[in-house]
């Protein structure tokens, strides 16, 4: 998806980043945020280059406290301006146990905040392909459109054009075999 534009780029003015990985220094988190924002812009989004607040580093065991405190800090800046917070970019350790699920639950149910998680291994590699893929995910989450089914408008797919039709898509994440073994702790 590199060097391609989104059909409708979403708008992200005010966003934040929290780093839950001890292996990622503040400077690396800041650099990743800058590169990701640049890729979002290149891909067709109206995306603010800088996060609303500098990236925050926090410990995974304090996920709820860190998310709620940073959200409160952001809203203290935005509420007087009549604006809402856009997505949270979260940097997670490669082996993050329940952190991913807890983060998603807190963001979606408690804060009403869209989130995009990125693993530590991608922060250091920071390939353009990875950044382009993350930009696509963020775009959809903020209301943009990445693609349209052009064939549905022509006669090549008449069923879609002539009858009420629903198309389902699925995205499945498969853990690396080594991650499956480290996810569970067995007690005797």
How many whole angstroms from its chain centre is CA 47? Answer: 13
Residue ranges per structural domain of the chain: 11-144
Rounded to whole angstroms, the Cα distance separating 87 from 57 reads 17
Q: Is the pLDDT of residue 183 over 80?
A: no
pLDDT tens per residue, range 57-90: 999 999 999 999 999 999 999 999 999 999 999 9
pLDDT of residue 39: 95
- pLDDT band, very low/low/confident/very high, at 166 (cuts 50, 70, 90): confident
Domain 11-144 has CATH 3.40.50.2300: yes
pLDDT tens per residue, range 89-101: 999 999 998 999 9
pLDDT of residue 120: 96
Q: What are the φ and ψ backbone dihedral angles of 92, each rounded to 5 degrees?
A: -115, 150
Contacts with 137 (C-beta within 8 Å, 6 or more apart), sequence order: 116
pLDDT tens per residue, range 18-68: 999 999 999 999 999 999 999 999 999 999 999 999 999 999 999 999 999
CB 16 within 8 A of CB 86: no
pLDDT of residue 4: 74
User: Tokens 């797919």 belong to which residue?
Assistant: 157
């Amino acid at each position: 998806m590199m060097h391609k534009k989104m059909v409708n780029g979403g708008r992200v003015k005010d966003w934040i980043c929290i780093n839950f990985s001890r292996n990622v220094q503040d400077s690396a988190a800041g650099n990743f945020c800058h590169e990701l924002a640049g890729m979002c812009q290149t891909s067709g989004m109206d995306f603010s280059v800088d996060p609303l607040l500098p990236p925050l580093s926090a410990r995974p065991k304090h996920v709820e406290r860190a998310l709620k405190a940073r959200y409160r800090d952001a809203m203290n800046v935005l509420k007087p301006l009549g604006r809402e917070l856009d997505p949270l970019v979260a940097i997670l350790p490669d082996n993050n146990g329940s952190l991913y699920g807890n983060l998603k639950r807190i963001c979606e149910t408690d804060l009403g905040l869209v989130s995009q998680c990125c693993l530590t291994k991608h922060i250091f590699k920071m390939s353009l392909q990875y950044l382009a893929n993350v930009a696509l995910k963020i775009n959809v989450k903020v209301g943009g459109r990445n693609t349209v089914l052009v064939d549905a408008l022509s006669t090549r797919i008449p069923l879609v054009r002539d009858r009420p039709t629903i198309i389902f898509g699925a995205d499945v994440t498969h853990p690396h075999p080594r991650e499956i073994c480290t996810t569970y702790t067995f007690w005797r």
